[in-house]
Amino acid sequence: MGFGTGSLRGQAGVVDHRLSRRHLINEYKRGRLRQDQVCDAHPELIRAARNVGAPASVACPICTADELRLITYVFGPRLPAHGRCISTAQELRRLDARPDELTAYVVEACVECRWHHLLRVLPVGNRAPRAAAL
């Protein structure tokens, strides 16, 4: 039995970006990247992190401040083109109950140094596996 990309079609799942995160942090710590190259979050992302972001359980990997926040954006049909920034678990449950296939993006951002990285991408919605990993 072969395994190809076609066998994944229609199978929504979680995409974890920890390996690319670790690589970027290692490149910074080795001196191959400057801080201004990795700490360049958009002001709107920092505003969302400051106002509705949930505190992360770890410190910022760049500046070691305890200002690392997790922000979740959901994209899909009948949502704004720029997505919806989720501020409560209740709001996420409402979106998860919808019949539409939606996609949630969990981003970490440091309010102190402006580090940011996409952590994971998850399916949300009635036709997708439950988004319990947010």
**Residue 125, pLDDT score:** 87
Say if CB 80 and CB 110 are below 8 A apart: no
Q: What is the DSSP letter of 1?
A: -
Residue 16, strand partner residues: 120
Say if CB 121 and CB 103 are below 8 A apart: yes
Kindly state the tokens that stand for 5. Answer: 């990309």
Mapping DSSP to helix (H, G, I), strand (E, B) and coil, where does residue 21 land? helix
Per-residue pLDDT of the chain (134 residues; tens, 9 = 90+): 344 444 444 556 889 999 999 999 999 999 999 999 999 999 999 999 999 999 999 999 999 999 999 999 999 999 999 899 999 999 999 999 999 899 999 999 999 999 999 999 999 987 545 555 45
Q: Which among 8, 30, 25, 12 has a CA at the least distance from the CA of 102?
A: 12
Could you state, in order of their start, the residue ranges of all structural domains in the chain? Answer: 13-124
